[in-house]
Amino acid sequence: GQSAGKSSVLENFVGRDFLPRGSGIVTRRPLILQLVNSKAEYAEFLHCKGRKFVDFEEVRMEIEAETDRLTGSNKGISPIPINLRVYSPNVLNLTLIDLPGMTKVAVGDQPPDIEHQIRDMLLQFITKESCLILAVTPANMDLANSDALKIAKEVDPQGLRTIGVITKLDLMDEGTDARDILENKLLPLRRGYIGVVNRSQKDIDG
């Protein structure tokens, strides 16, 4: 779902803050993020041929500008991906795709069928057999209500290529225990669950 901490999970792979943040749908176009292990650290966009970004704050601004260019600033979405390559000594060679989270209700001047648009976009990517699904759910939400796990189950009913990522473990209610989830007992997945404590907005602002 939205605000589940998906973008922060991706940033953890890179060790840099470079994705847009905020409330509502922040990821409004698929971001195909190719990580390349190299000595130097920089980023390149497919749509900015020949330009190397060494300041990751500029990468964030470019993602925002390029998103608005196709979707307008009305929080609409577009299935046309942004391709970003990050070179760094701290990454594994890996391709990750950041997709919009599910939303139930159109806000402001979003199209009324925004939920269907997002669903179609997600299915376009996650139906591929070669694709592993990172289904991100915050720990302070009931796993049974996780849109990410529900849609993953539609295309991967046996949970063979779905990894559950539980974010915001620090926000769990007092007295609740993530152990049953993380030990893969509650909604079992072949590849199990990973727990993540992403930095809080306070840490980020700090």
Reported as a single tens digit per residue, the pLDDT across 64-92 is 999 888 877 666 788 899 999 999 999 99
Q: Which amino acid would we find at residue 81?
A: P
Q: Which two tokens stand for residue 173?
A: 């209610």
Q: What's the pLDDT at 173?
A: 66
Q: Which two tokens stand for residue 100?
A: 């919009």
Q: What is the mean pLDDT of the chain?
A: 84
Question: Is the Cβ–Cβ distance between 70 and 161 less than 8 Å?
Answer: no
Q: Which amino acid would we find at residue 74?
A: N
Per-residue pLDDT tens digits for 35-59: 999 999 999 999 999 999 999 999 9
Q: Is the pLDDT of residue 63 over 70?
A: yes
Q: Please name the fold of domain 17-121.
A: Rossmann fold (3.40.50)
From the centroid of its chain, how far is CA 47? 21
Domains of the chain, by residue range, sit at 17-121, 127-206
Per-residue pLDDT tens digits for 167-195: 888 777 666 667 777 787 777 788 888 88
Domains 17-121 and 127-206 share a fold: yes
CATH number of 127-206: 3.40.50
pTM: 0.81
